Protein backbone atom coordinates (compact mmCIF):
# COMPACT_ATOMS: atom_id res chain seq x y z
CA UNK A 1 0.00 0.00 0.00
CA UNK A 2 2.89 2.39 0.70
CA UNK A 3 3.98 2.07 -2.92
CA UNK A 4 0.52 3.23 -4.01
CA UNK A 5 0.90 6.36 -1.88
CA UNK A 6 4.20 7.10 -3.63
CA UNK A 7 2.72 6.40 -7.08
CA UNK A 8 -0.18 8.77 -6.37
CA UNK A 9 2.32 11.42 -5.27
CA UNK A 10 4.36 10.92 -8.44
CA UNK A 11 1.23 11.19 -10.58
CA UNK A 12 0.13 14.37 -8.80
CA UNK A 13 3.62 15.85 -9.11
CA UNK A 14 3.76 15.10 -12.82
CA UNK A 15 0.29 16.58 -13.38
CA UNK A 16 1.30 19.68 -11.42
CA UNK A 17 4.49 20.21 -13.44
CA UNK A 18 4.13 18.88 -16.97
CA UNK A 19 0.79 20.32 -18.22
CA UNK A 20 1.55 23.90 -17.07
CA UNK A 21 4.95 23.69 -18.77
CA UNK A 22 3.40 22.21 -21.94
CA UNK A 23 0.49 24.62 -22.23
CA UNK A 24 2.69 27.62 -21.37
CA UNK A 25 4.90 26.77 -24.35
CA UNK A 26 1.84 27.04 -26.58
CA UNK A 27 0.87 30.45 -25.17
CA UNK A 28 2.80 33.42 -26.61
CA UNK A 29 3.85 35.95 -23.97
CA UNK A 30 3.09 33.67 -21.02
CA UNK A 31 5.58 33.97 -18.16
CA UNK A 32 5.93 31.44 -15.32
CA UNK A 33 7.25 34.28 -13.16
CA UNK A 34 4.41 36.74 -13.78
CA UNK A 35 1.34 34.72 -14.69
CA UNK A 36 -0.64 32.33 -12.52
CA UNK A 37 -1.25 28.74 -13.53
CA UNK A 38 -4.97 29.54 -13.79
CA UNK A 39 -4.29 31.96 -16.62
CA UNK A 40 -3.42 29.00 -18.86
CA UNK A 41 -7.11 28.03 -18.68
CA UNK A 42 -8.62 31.51 -18.43
CA UNK A 43 -11.84 32.32 -20.24
CA UNK A 44 -11.12 32.66 -23.95
CA UNK A 45 -7.64 31.11 -23.83
CA UNK A 46 -6.88 28.98 -26.91
CA UNK A 47 -6.34 25.80 -24.86
CA UNK A 48 -8.80 26.59 -22.07
CA UNK A 49 -10.84 23.37 -22.40
CA UNK A 50 -7.75 21.20 -22.68
CA UNK A 51 -6.16 22.86 -19.65
CA UNK A 52 -9.38 22.39 -17.67
CA UNK A 53 -9.98 18.73 -18.45
CA UNK A 54 -6.47 17.42 -19.20
CA UNK A 55 -4.60 19.33 -16.49
CA UNK A 56 -6.71 20.86 -13.71
CA UNK A 57 -9.40 18.19 -13.22
CA UNK A 58 -7.00 15.20 -13.34
CA UNK A 59 -4.67 16.95 -10.89
CA UNK A 60 -7.56 17.52 -8.49
CA UNK A 61 -8.47 13.83 -8.70
CA UNK A 62 -4.83 12.84 -8.13
CA UNK A 63 -4.69 14.95 -4.96
CA UNK A 64 -7.85 13.21 -3.70
CA UNK A 65 -6.40 9.77 -4.48
CA UNK A 66 -3.18 10.66 -2.66
CA UNK A 67 -5.09 11.92 0.40
CA UNK A 68 -7.28 8.81 0.46
CA UNK A 69 -4.33 6.42 0.11
CA UNK A 70 -2.29 8.29 2.73
CA UNK A 71 -5.33 8.26 5.01
CA UNK A 72 -5.40 4.47 4.83
CA UNK A 73 -1.89 4.47 6.35
CA UNK A 74 -2.60 6.97 9.14
CA UNK A 75 -4.68 6.86 12.33
CA UNK A 76 -8.11 8.48 12.45
CA UNK A 77 -6.84 11.61 14.21
CA UNK A 78 -5.06 12.56 10.97
CA UNK A 79 -8.43 12.88 9.25
CA UNK A 80 -8.74 16.64 9.74
CA UNK A 81 -5.38 17.27 8.08
CA UNK A 82 -6.25 14.99 5.18
CA UNK A 83 -9.64 16.63 4.62
CA UNK A 84 -7.98 20.05 4.63
CA UNK A 85 -5.30 18.85 2.21
CA UNK A 86 -7.99 17.45 -0.09
CA UNK A 87 -9.34 21.00 -0.52
CA UNK A 88 -6.40 21.51 -2.87
CA UNK A 89 -8.02 18.89 -5.09
CA UNK A 90 -11.33 20.72 -4.82
CA UNK A 91 -9.65 23.92 -5.99
CA UNK A 92 -8.23 22.23 -9.10
CA UNK A 93 -11.53 20.66 -10.06
CA UNK A 94 -13.14 24.04 -9.35
CA UNK A 95 -10.62 25.71 -11.66
CA UNK A 96 -11.71 23.33 -14.43
CA UNK A 97 -15.39 24.12 -13.90
CA UNK A 98 -14.98 27.85 -13.16
CA UNK A 99 -12.13 29.32 -15.24
CA UNK A 100 -10.75 32.67 -14.20
CA UNK A 101 -11.25 35.87 -16.16
CA UNK A 102 -8.45 37.12 -18.40
CA UNK A 103 -5.45 38.05 -16.26
CA UNK A 104 -6.79 36.22 -13.16
CA UNK A 105 -8.00 39.42 -11.44
CA UNK A 106 -8.92 39.55 -7.77
CA UNK A 107 -12.42 40.71 -8.76
CA UNK A 108 -14.44 40.09 -11.88
CA UNK A 109 -17.31 37.91 -13.03
CA UNK A 110 -19.18 35.54 -10.74
CA UNK A 111 -17.22 32.70 -12.37
CA UNK A 112 -13.94 34.41 -11.54
CA UNK A 113 -15.10 34.92 -7.94
CA UNK A 114 -15.91 31.20 -7.59
CA UNK A 115 -12.55 30.40 -9.14
CA UNK A 116 -10.76 32.63 -6.62
CA UNK A 117 -12.79 31.25 -3.71
CA UNK A 118 -11.85 27.72 -4.71
CA UNK A 119 -8.20 28.66 -5.10
CA UNK A 120 -8.09 30.35 -1.70
CA UNK A 121 -9.77 27.36 -0.06
CA UNK A 122 -7.33 25.01 -1.78
CA UNK A 123 -4.18 26.79 -0.69
CA UNK A 124 -5.53 27.48 2.79
CA UNK A 125 -6.52 23.83 3.05
CA UNK A 126 -3.12 22.65 1.88
CA UNK A 127 -1.29 24.90 4.35
CA UNK A 128 -3.55 24.16 7.31
CA UNK A 129 -3.66 20.48 6.36
CA UNK A 130 0.12 20.22 6.43
CA UNK A 131 0.21 21.87 9.84
CA UNK A 132 -2.38 19.41 11.14
CA UNK A 133 -0.59 16.45 9.56
CA UNK A 134 2.65 17.64 11.14
CA UNK A 135 0.95 17.32 14.52
CA UNK A 136 -0.37 13.87 13.65
CA UNK A 137 3.06 12.73 12.42
CA UNK A 138 4.62 13.52 15.81
CA UNK A 139 2.91 10.45 17.28
CA UNK A 140 3.79 8.06 14.44
CA UNK A 141 7.08 6.19 14.60
CA UNK A 142 7.26 5.86 10.81
CA UNK A 143 6.67 9.58 10.10
CA UNK A 144 7.74 11.42 13.26
CA UNK A 145 10.95 12.60 11.59
CA UNK A 146 8.81 14.46 9.03
CA UNK A 147 6.61 16.24 11.59
CA UNK A 148 8.61 19.46 11.78
CA UNK A 149 9.23 19.82 8.05
CA UNK A 150 5.54 19.09 7.34
CA UNK A 151 4.30 21.77 9.73
CA UNK A 152 6.94 24.25 8.50
CA UNK A 153 5.91 23.75 4.88
CA UNK A 154 2.29 24.28 5.90
CA UNK A 155 3.15 27.61 7.49
CA UNK A 156 5.13 28.61 4.40
CA UNK A 157 2.13 27.84 2.16
CA UNK A 158 -0.09 30.01 4.38
CA UNK A 159 2.48 32.82 4.13
CA UNK A 160 2.43 32.38 0.37
CA UNK A 161 -1.33 33.01 0.31
CA UNK A 162 -0.68 36.39 1.91
CA UNK A 163 1.91 37.23 -0.77
CA UNK A 164 -0.46 36.10 -3.55
CA UNK A 165 -3.15 38.44 -2.30
CA UNK A 166 -1.23 41.43 -3.73
CA UNK A 167 -0.52 42.31 -7.35
CA UNK A 168 3.09 41.43 -8.04
CA UNK A 169 5.40 40.89 -11.00
CA UNK A 170 6.41 37.57 -9.38
CA UNK A 171 2.90 36.31 -8.63
CA UNK A 172 3.43 33.24 -10.82
CA UNK A 173 6.73 32.42 -9.16
CA UNK A 174 5.21 32.62 -5.67
CA UNK A 175 2.40 30.30 -6.70
CA UNK A 176 4.83 27.81 -8.21
CA UNK A 177 6.97 27.81 -5.07
CA UNK A 178 3.84 27.07 -3.01
CA UNK A 179 2.92 24.25 -5.37
CA UNK A 180 6.46 22.87 -5.28
CA UNK A 181 6.30 22.77 -1.48
CA UNK A 182 3.01 20.85 -1.42
CA UNK A 183 3.75 18.41 -4.23
CA UNK A 184 7.36 17.99 -3.09
CA UNK A 185 6.03 17.13 0.36
CA UNK A 186 3.71 14.54 -1.16
CA UNK A 187 6.67 12.91 -2.92
CA UNK A 188 8.72 13.05 0.28
CA UNK A 189 6.01 11.35 2.34
CA UNK A 190 5.36 8.72 -0.31
CA UNK A 191 9.06 7.92 -0.63
CA UNK A 192 9.51 7.92 3.14
CA UNK A 193 6.71 5.40 3.60
CA UNK A 194 8.16 3.11 0.92
CA UNK A 195 11.64 3.25 2.48
CA UNK A 196 10.22 2.65 5.96
CA UNK A 197 8.29 -0.47 4.92
Q: Report the share of the chain in percent with pLDDT over 70.
A: 100
Indicate whether 196 pLDDT > 90.
Answer: no
Report d(CA 71, CA 14) in Å as an integer.
21
Least confident of 15-24, 29-38, 104-113, 164-173: 164-173
pLDDT at 93: 98
Residues 86-115 have a mean pLDDT of: 96
- 87 within 8 A of 121, measured Cβ to Cβ: yes
pLDDT at 33: 95
Q: How confident is the model at residue 167 (pLDDT cuts 50, 70, 90)?
A: confident
Domain that holds residue 151: 2-196
Q: How many domains does the chain have?
A: 1
Higher confidence at residue 168 or residue 16?
16
Report d(CA 152, CA 22) in Å as an integer.
31
Phi, psi of 140, rounded to the nearest 5 degrees: -110, 120
pTM of the model: 0.95
pLDDT at 166: 81
Residues 125-148 pLDDT 10s = 999 999 999 999 999 998 999 999
User: What value does the mean pLDDT of the chain take?
Assistant: 96
Report d(CA 137, CA 90) in Å as an integer.
24
- How big, in percent rounded to 5, are the helix, strand and coil portions of the chain? 75, 0, 25
pLDDT at 41: 97
Report d(CA 75, CA 77) in Å as an integer.
6
Q: What is the CA radius of gyration of the chain?
A: 16
Residues 160-172 have a mean pLDDT of: 89
pLDDT at 197: 80
Report d(CA 82, CA 45) in Å as an integer.
33
Residues 21-67 pLDDT 10s = 999 999 999 999 999 999 999 999 999 999 999 999 999 999 999 99
Amino acid sequence: MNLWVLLAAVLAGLLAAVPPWWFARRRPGYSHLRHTISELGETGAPDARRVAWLAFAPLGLAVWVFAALLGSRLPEDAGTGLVLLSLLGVSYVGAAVFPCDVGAPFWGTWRNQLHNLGGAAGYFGAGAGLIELGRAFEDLASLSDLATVTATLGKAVLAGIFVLSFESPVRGLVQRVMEAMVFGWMLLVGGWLVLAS
